[in-house]
Amino acid sequence: MTEKTEAQSATTTTTVGETSTTTPAEQGLFSQVALYWRQLKTESVQQLQLFTLEAQLAAESLVAIWLLALSAALLLIGIWLLLHLALWQGLKASGLADWQALLLAFVVQLLLLTLCLWRIRYHSRFLRFNQTINSFMPSPATPKRQDS
């Protein structure tokens, strides 16, 4: 009697008139594959979400870098003009007051240029996708605690 119930539990009807036999071991394998598939789908969705967040941050960083680079270019042009004007004023003037003022403006623009370049470097670090790359790395094995 038990052989008949095991055989009946192993036989399932898939479509009308067709039967397939699956053993409990195969059902365990199918459930493991299904579990693995769900984990794979979940992980891929998380990877995609992480990538989109980092892509958004990278896009914002590129816009900031572009605006700061434009500002830096304008400041470089201003520094170049002020340097030439300061040299011209220094040669022309007998006193130091005119070109000292121009050199002070030159130093201020040089400091602003340094600030822009520092901010470009800050924003460019988001273009490396660090978190996405780190998520592909295998996690280090955690040591197992042994309760004594």
Q: What does the pLDDT look like over 32-81, one tens digit per residue?
A: 889 999 999 999 999 999 889 988 988 898 899 999 999 999 999 988 88
* Residue ranges with strand state E in the chain: 11-15, 18-21
Q: What per-residue confidence (pLDDT) applies to 133?
A: 77
Is residue 87 situated within a structural domain?
yes
Residue 96 inside a domain? The answer is yes
Give phi and psi for 130, each to the nearest 5.
Answer: -60, -45
Query: Which two three-digit tokens encode residue 119?
Result: 């901010």
Mean pLDDT value of segment 103-110: 78
Is residue 140 in some structural domain? no
Amino acid at 126: F
Residue 144, domain member (yes or no): no
Strand, coil or helix: what is 99? helix
Q: Which residue type sits at 32?
A: Q
Question: pTM of the prediction?
Answer: 0.43
Please report where in the chains the tokens 């394998």 appear, as a residue: 29
Q: Domain of 114?
A: 25-134
- The answer to whether position 13 is within a domain reads no
